[in-house]
Each structure stands twice: as C-alpha cells, then as structure tokens.
Amino acid sequence: MNAYIHVPFCRNKCAYCAFYSLPAADGDLIQKYVAEIVRQLQACPATFSTLYLGGGTPTLLAEKDLERIFSAVRLAPGAEVSIEANPETLTPEKLAMLSNYANRLSIGVQSFSVNKRKKLGRDCSDKAIHAALDCPHFPHRNLDLMYAVPGDTADSFREDLRLAVASGVDHISCYSLTPEEQTAFAGTVIDEEMSADLWQLAGDTLGEAGILRYEISNYARPGAECRHNVNVWKGGILQGFGPAAASFDGHQRYRQQENVTSWLHGAPPEWDMIPEDARRREIFAVNLRTVAGWKKRDFLALPGAVEEEWQTFLQTLAPFSPLYCTIASDEVKLTDRGLLFWDSIASELL
C-alpha cells in the first residue's frame, strides 16, 4: 500500500499553483491539522511500502510537528519515504531531523534563474537553493524544473538543465507550465511547439548525463525512480490523508474535502464512482505515460482485468503503431513521439 499526506500550508501561493494550499495560515489551524493527521494515522491499521508528503509545503511545518507525523505512520521495512520541500523552509537542523525519517527529498527549485522564479512567484533565494542541494543526508534527491514559461528559450532552459545535473541529484522532474484556472497564469497562451522542443531538449540533455526519462515528466538515474509514483500510475492502492488528498481502494477513487476546516469537522470524502472497466481503462491510459508501458501480466493483475480487455486495448492502439507505439502480444509502450502526444492517444482509450 501507498500513503500520501497532503500538507495544505505554504509561505506564499506560487503563480502557477492550482493545488489546494493556504499561504501564511494561522498557527492554531496548523496545530489542529497536525493533531488530526496524527490521530488518523494512528487509527489506520495499514502498513505502507511508500509514503509521500506533498503540498503545499510540508517542510513549512515545525520539526516537532513533522516528527509527530512521521512517528505515527506504520511503514514496511525498506519503505520509500518522500517529502517535498521549499528550500527557504529548510535549516540544517530540520534537514538532519528529516533524514532520520525520509530517504527521498524533493526540492522545489523550478528554475535557477532569479528572474524566472519571480515570474513564477516562487519565493526562494539562490542561497537557500544551493544550501538544500548541498545537503548530503538523503540517499535520493529530486529537483523540480519548469519550462515553457513566457520568455523561456532553448538556451535558458539548457542552462537550468546543466545546473540541475551539476547539483548531483539523482532524479529530476520537468514540467511544462500549465495555465490552470484560478492561478495568475490563467489565460496565458503557451507556445506548444516550443514546449515540445524543450521537452525533447530535456530528454536529450538529461539522457546524455545518465538521468533517463522514465515518465513523460520524470527522469532518474537507474534505481532512483520514485517508487510511490510508479506504484500509483500502475493502479496501486493509495491511502490519502489530509484535505484534498486522493485515495484509491483498488476499485474506486475518492478525494477528501478541499477545505481544511470542513476536513477537520469530518466532512465525508467525494467519491468518483465509475464502472470498474472504465477505471481499468483510466489506469491503463495513465501508465502509458511511462517509458516502460505495460506488461500483459501486470495489467491482468489488476482487480477484474481479463484477457479480452487487453486485446481490446491493443486493437485500439494498433493504428498508432509503429510511429507512436510499439505493440507485442505481451507488452505495449509508447515511443518518444507517442509520449509527446499522450493526450491524443489517451483520449482514444477513455
């Protein structure tokens, strides 16, 4: 099983962020949140093979509060434990404490350019970024980058990639700017051709450095892939804790209320009830975002999956072969060009 904890607090709201978060939240509200998260974790009998703390900014919480949360989770031996971090919220003391519990640190850099970070509303200094990247405590470290931001060029993004590689991290996530509604970038027109060119640049540049694309937006040195995400993409059971946290019980998805006060008062989650065959189509499409794609045996291991469904999916994808996907009797995966056009291919499956 996989666990996700949503920490809905942050220093300030970034211009591109559409996730549920509260900037500069009241300290009393944070303490009520921590107490309820700890209560739910202690009441949960499950043992988790992965744990991911996202947000918001999990590292905004005080050291004592993070320790309470980590101590309340039941983890299997060898569990992967990831936590997202804004470098400005990290101190040497907090990093040392986190290394006692987490083995994977995800650092929200977005860009090494001060001007680009200002455009993104990213409240983070060069000094804090380099201090976080110089931290030796964690076996695995991820660095987030964003591209296709107005003003981006191939040269400017290439420099971000170069500095990311030089930082020594073993995982890099590269996301194209998506102008979500209710964000400062809503209505911004993205140059799709440039976005595609920068996506290819990321794959080529990082690949030459041995940091290989394993999902449309994620790159890792061999063995450093995020196990939590890989499990979820394949339809693994997910237990979400905190407001706006999503869960999957193996059959249906549900989401906690996207309001910390309602969540604290015990508001029921919102269920996404669809036929189970439609859910398997969704899972099949999502995992096609990975370079590895699907092995037949892995798909048939999903609850309710049958041979006929597998054959139907192969028939649906057949017109895209060989330019956009490669198909064999026991596996299917998208080509690099197919990954770039995943949205269009997925629409044929859903």
Query: Do residue 280 and residue 220 come from a single domain?
Result: no
Angle (nearest 5°) at CA 302 between 256 and 278: 65
CB 310 within 8 A of CB 299: yes
In a domain, 117, yes or no: yes
Which residues lie closer than 8 Å to 96 by C-beta, 6 or more apart?
137
Query: Do residue 63 and residue 208 come from a single domain?
Result: yes
Query: Do residue 215 and residue 324 come from a single domain?
Result: no
In a domain, 164, yes or no: yes
Its pTM stands at: 0.96
Query: Do residue 76 and residue 148 come from a single domain?
Result: yes
In a domain, 48, yes or no: yes
Buried b / exposed e along 60-77 (16+ C-beta atoms within 10 A): bbeeebbebbbebbebee
* SS3 (DSSP) at 97: helix
In a domain, 195, yes or no: yes
Query: Do residue 221 and residue 86 come from a single domain?
Result: yes
Query: Do residue 143 and residue 36 come from a single domain?
Result: yes
* Extended strands (E) in the chain: 2-7, 9-10, 22-23, 48-55, 75-85, 104-110, 140-147, 171-176, 212-215, 218-220, 238-241, 246-248, 253-255, 270-272, 294-295, 325-328, 331-334
Query: Do residue 226 and residue 283 come from a single domain?
Result: no
pLDDT (0 to 100) of residue 30: 97
CA 25 to the chain's CA centroid: 24
Of 76, 102, 132, 133, which is closest to residue 5 (Cα–Cα)?
Answer: 102
Helical axes 307-317 vs 342-349, angle rounded to 10°: 130
State the distance between the two ends of the chain, measured CA to CA, in whole angstroms.
26
Domain boundary among 203, 230, 257: 230
Which residues lie closer than 8 Å to 223 by C-beta, 6 or more apart?
none
pLDDT (0 to 100) of residue 24: 78
Query: Do residue 29 and residue 84 come from a single domain?
Result: yes
CB 249 within 8 A of CB 236: no
In a domain, 110, yes or no: yes
Q: How many distinct structural domains can be found in the chain?
A: 2
Buried b / exposed e along 30-42 (16+ C-beta atoms within 10 A): beebbebbbeebe
Domain that holds residue 280: 275-350
* Extended strands (E) in 99-216: 104-110, 140-147, 171-176, 212-215
In a domain, 298, yes or no: yes
Which residues lie closer than 8 Å to 211 by C-beta, 6 or more apart?
165, 170, 171, 172, 219, 220, 221
How far apart CA 56 and CA 53 sit, in angstroms, is: 9
In a domain, 258, yes or no: no
Which residues lie closer than 8 Å to 26 by C-beta, 6 or more apart?
none
Q: Within 10 A of 98 (CB to CB), how many other CB atoms are there?
A: 25
Domain boundary among 170, 195, 230: 230
Query: Do residue 216 and residue 320 come from a single domain?
Result: no
Query: Do residue 219 and residue 296 come from a single domain?
Result: no
pLDDT (0 to 100) of residue 290: 98
Of 333, 347, 323, 264, which is closest to residue 294 (Cα–Cα)?
Answer: 333
Query: Do residue 222 and residue 304 come from a single domain?
Result: no
In a domain, 50, yes or no: yes
Helices H / strands E in the chain, number of each: 14, 17
Of 90, 69, 173, which is closest to residue 137 (Cα–Cα)?
Answer: 90
Domain boundary among 176, 195, 230: 230
pLDDT (0 to 100) of residue 135: 82
Query: Do residue 42 and residue 165 come from a single domain?
Result: yes
Indicate which CATH number applies to the domain containing 327: 1.10.10.920
CB 141 within 8 A of CB 134: no
pLDDT (0 to 100) of residue 128: 94
pLDDT (0 to 100) of residue 235: 97
pLDDT (0 to 100) of residue 25: 84
Which residue type is seen at 176? S
| pLDDT in 10s for each residue of the chain, 350 residues | 999 999 999 998 999 999 999 997 899 999 999 999 999 999 999 999 999 999 999 999 999 999 999 999 999 999 999 999 999 999 999 999 999 999 999 999 999 999 999 999 998 899 999 999 988 789 999 999 999 999 999 999 999 999 999 999 999 999 999 999 889 999 898 999 999 999 999 999 999 999 999 999 999 999 999 999 999 999 999 999 999 999 999 999 999 999 999 999 999 999 999 999 999 999 999 999 999 999 999 999 999 999 999 999 999 999 999 999 999 999 999 999 999 999 999 999 99
Which residues lie closer than 8 Å to 230 by C-beta, 6 or more apart?
290
Of 48, 59, 220, 171, which is closest to residue 124 (Cα–Cα)?
Answer: 59
Indicate which CATH number applies to the domain containing 50: 3.20.20.70
